[in-house]
Amino acid sequence: KFLRRPLIAGNWKMNMDHRQGITLLQKTVWTLQDANFTFDRVEVAVFPPFTDLRGVQTLVAGDDLPVAYGGQDLSPADEGAYTGDISGAFLKALGCEFVLVGHSERRTLHGEGDDVALAKVQAALRHGLVPVLCVGESLEVRQAGTHVAHTLGQLSAVIGQLDAATVANLVVAYEPVWAIGTGEVAGPADAQEMCAALREAVRASHGDEAAEGLRLLYGGSVKAANVAAIMAEVDVDGVLVGGASLDAGEFANIARFEQ
Ligand code: PEP
This complex has an ipTM of 0.95
- Closest residue by CA, ligand 1 atom 2: 242
Q: Which fold has domain 7-255?
A: TIM Barrel (3.20.20)
Cα–Cα nearest to 165, from 212, 199, 230 = 212
Q: Which residues line ligand 1 (CB under 6 A)?
A: 11, 175, 180-181, 219-222, 240-244
Distance of CA 40 to the CA centre of its chain: 18
Closest atom of ligand 1 relative to the 222 alpha carbon? 8
**pLDDT (tens digit per residue) in 135-146:** 999 999 999 999
Distance from the CA of 82 to the center of ligand 1, in angstroms?
28
Q: What are phi and psi of 10, to 5 degrees?
A: -110, 120
- Closest residue by CA, ligand 1 atom 3: 242
**pLDDT (tens digit per residue) in 17-67:** 999 999 999 999 999 999 999 999 999 999 999 999 999 999 999 999 999
Cα–Cα nearest to 24, from 256, 258, 171, 244 = 244
- Give Rg (Cα) of the chain: 17
User: What are the structural domain ranges in the chain?
Assistant: 7-255
What does pTM read for this prediction?
A: 0.97
Our mutation pick for probing the ligand 1 site, out of 240, 245, 251, counting the most ligand atoms within 8 A of Cβ, is 240
Q: Assign 209 a pLDDT band (cuts: 50, 70, 90).
A: very high
Number of H helices, E strands in the chain: 12, 8
* Total Cβ atoms within 10 A of residue 253: 19
